[in-house]
Amino acid sequence: MEHILIGNHPSIQKIRELIAMVSDTAFNVLLLGETGTGKEVVARLLHQASSRRNKKFIKVNCAALPLTLLESELFGYEKGAFTGALHSKPGKFELASDGVILLDEIGDMPLVLQAKLLHVLQSGEFNRLGGTQDVKVNSWVISSTNHDLEKDMAQGLFREDLYYRLNIIKVELPALWERREDIPLLTGHFLHKCQQELNLDVPLTLDSDILELFQEYHWPGNVRELANTVLRLAVGDDPEKVKGELAKNMLMDGLTPPKGFISTRPEPAIGDGEKENDQTGGIRSLKDIKSEAAGYIERKTIMHALNMTGWNKRKAAKLLKISYKTLFYKMDDFGIGQEA
């Protein structure tokens, strides 16, 4: 699949130049930027532009697995290394040999594993878990995160020495609102993509008022949110509903939607039940939305603390400044740890 980075903003043009410059160096690259800004697109472009393009591109999500699983995922294991290791298995570093390994969400890597990764990168080799044979690291290491690593380092959550090792080349992806002049171009690109995917002969278009709102909207989910919104409209989602949602998001984030986009429908009274909701055209109460958002952030923060401490609940509770018991109940409430 061909990957492309759409945009004429100077920051994007610079990134394109950088990709061309570093693609054959295999210098470690650190990709920084908010969610949905195109970090993975850049990683794949680096791979595509390099002489490694015919070798593997392997992505490891460092936030998705608890410590021990992530360690064996990265470095592999020998038969008998732990209970249940019935066969030996190569890790992602070995699989990405001569190719590219993308350490996605590196900011969520537990500290213990950060130390091991640093050691591996310094020595250029490692052993599979339970193994004795040295395996050379010759994959191109690209890492990405939406964390503010400088802040994480100041709080002792990310190792400074590892940061400098990974950050030989730093690429910072701007938020979409910082390059809003690219919104029409990106919208056109996603419309064209939808047209092709839906096999339509006639080009897809959007009304001028929605394009106007796109230009004013703050796009907290960045390019991904724009792509999804265009797709929703392309498959026939009610434009009025979409407009209402975007305007509501702006209000929730303390911004003023452009004139004519503020919903005139009545807000449901706080505490009112379903009967009231029926008359609100799908608009939910501020209270519901707030509590849902708070829950989402709380769950994410707990997951982060658990990952940072290698799923040590006592340490995580300390980090979160809550009691062990509270953490335990919250994990239960959010269903954390039950999926493993």
Ligand X SMILES: Nc1ncnc2c1ncn2[C@@H]1O[C@H](COP(=O)(O)OP(=O)(O)OP(=O)(O)O)[C@@H](O)[C@H]1O
Residue numbers at the binding site for ligand X (CB under 6 A): 4-7, 33, 35-41, 146, 223-224, 227
Nearest to 78 by CA among 120, 128, 125: 128
Residue number with CB closer to ligand X (45 or 283): 45
Beta-strand relationship, 140-145 and 76-77: unpaired
Residue number with CB closer to ligand X (39 or 92): 39
Mention every residue, 6+ apart, whose C-beta is less than 8 A from residue 229.
Answer: 214, 242, 246
Q: Which of 11, 16, 18, 40 binds Mg ion (CB under 5 A)?
A: 40
**CB nearest Mg ion: which residue?**
40
Choose among ligand X, Mg ion, none what residue 227 binds, the Cβ cut-off being 5 to 8 Å by kind.
ligand X
Rounded least distance, CB 267 to ligand X, Å: 31
Choose among ligand X, Mg ion, none what residue 7 binds, the Cβ cut-off being 5 to 8 Å by kind.
ligand X
Residue number with CB closer to Mg ion (43 or 67): 43
* Sheet hosting strand 29-32, strand order edge to edge: 57-61, 100-104, 140-145, 29-32, 169-172
List, as one string, the DSSP characters of 167-191: -SEEEEPPPGGGGGGGHHHHHHHHH
Residue number with CB closer to Mg ion (126 or 158): 158
Choose among ligand X, Mg ion, none what residue 246 binds, the Cβ cut-off being 5 to 8 Å by kind.
none
Give the residues across from 55 on adjacent strands. none
Rounded least distance, CB 312 to ligand X, Å: 26
Rounded least distance, CB 117 to ligand X, Å: 19
Q: Does 224 bind Mg ion (CB under 5 A)?
A: no
Rounded least distance, CB 231 to ligand X, Å: 10
**How far is Cα 118 from Cα 103, in angstroms, rounded to an integer?**
13
**How far is Cα 208 from Cα 228, in angstroms, rounded to an integer?**
18
Q: H/E element holding 76?
A: strand 76-77
Binding site for Mg ion (CB under 5 A): 40
